[in-house]
Amino acid sequence: MSTQAKVYLVPIPIAEGASETLSPQVLIVTLHLKHYFVENIRTARRFLRSIHPTIVIDDIQFSEIDKHNGPELGLLRKWLKEGQAIGIMSESGCPGIADPGAELIAIAQDTGATIVPLVGPNSLILALMASGLNGQSFCFNGYLPVKEPARSQHIKHLEQLSKKERQTQLFIETPYRNNNLLDDLLKNCQNSTRLCIAQNITAANASIKTRSIADWGKNKPALEKVPAVFLFLA
């Protein structure tokens, strides 16, 4: 297996058009990459054209990561064996962090390829930075269960864990369920638990606010159907 293969983890702006949140290294590397695994080909093409208007997009090979069957691992192994420089790109944010990519990266690690994470925005870290909650100990839990009673039980479990370990708990939700999640948090958490709701991070209308459950309950907002990160510390 070639030791020359490199895999670049390419971040995408979280907010539409916020290319200023990317490092210059992203612009340099993507100018030359010709092989990509991407979450969405259309999004990937649009992003590359936006930062490199003169790029010849038809010279680039894209492999879309299938939501049900996963990535084409055989193709990855072929490109690695050829010693190609390969990009992995999410639809937004950083690949491998609450986004596809980990399976590809694991195989690349096993083959001895060089993994290069490029600097860019990650909503989880940015939300934690701005929350005022514990950034020394935290846990990302992905999506909470949708159905009851599992949903309420899991919220209470995470709150107990947060209190015991002094650990910030982070989770996300499908945008159209943001208000339902807020309702369930207000219903199941203790009044003293501090909850941060971070929406549209890095956008012009970004909102990152931390209040106690009691205070959120007194003035409950109608959350927009936009990407959000929820964090709490009991």
Report pLDDT digits (tens) over 10-68. 999 999 888 899 999 999 999 999 999 999 999 999 999 999 999 999 999 999 998 88
Is pLDDT above 70 for 2? no
Is pLDDT above 90 for 198? yes
Give the pLDDT of residue 16: 86
Of 123, 229, 234, nearest to 168 (Cα)? 234
Q: Which long-range contacts (CB under 8 A, 24 or more apart) does 23-32 make?
A: 23/118, 23/119, 23/120, 25/118, 25/119, 26/51, 26/118, 26/119, 26/120, 27/51, 27/52, 29/87, 29/116, 29/118, 30/87, 31/55, 32/85
Band (pLDDT 50/70/90 cuts) for residue 133 is very high
Q: What is the reported pTM?
A: 0.91
Residue 124 backbone phi and psi in degrees, to 5: -65, -50
| Residue ranges of domains in the chain, CATH in brackets | 6-117 (3.40.1010.10), 123-233 (3.30.950.10)
Tokens 């989770």 identify what position? 171
Tell me how far apart the alpha carbons of residues 127 and 222 are, in angstroms, rounded to a whole number.
19
Give the pLDDT of residue 69: 85
pLDDT digits (tens, 9 = 90+) for 58-87: 999 999 998 888 899 999 999 999 999 999
Give the pLDDT of residue 66: 87
Give the pLDDT of residue 3: 55
Is pLDDT above 90 for 167? yes
Instruction: Quote the tokens at residue 122.
Output: 């990650």
Give the pLDDT of residue 1: 42
Is pLDDT above 60 for 211? yes
What average pLDDT is seen over the chain? 95
Q: Are 109 and 30 in contact (CB under 8 A)?
A: no
Give the pLDDT of residue 79: 97
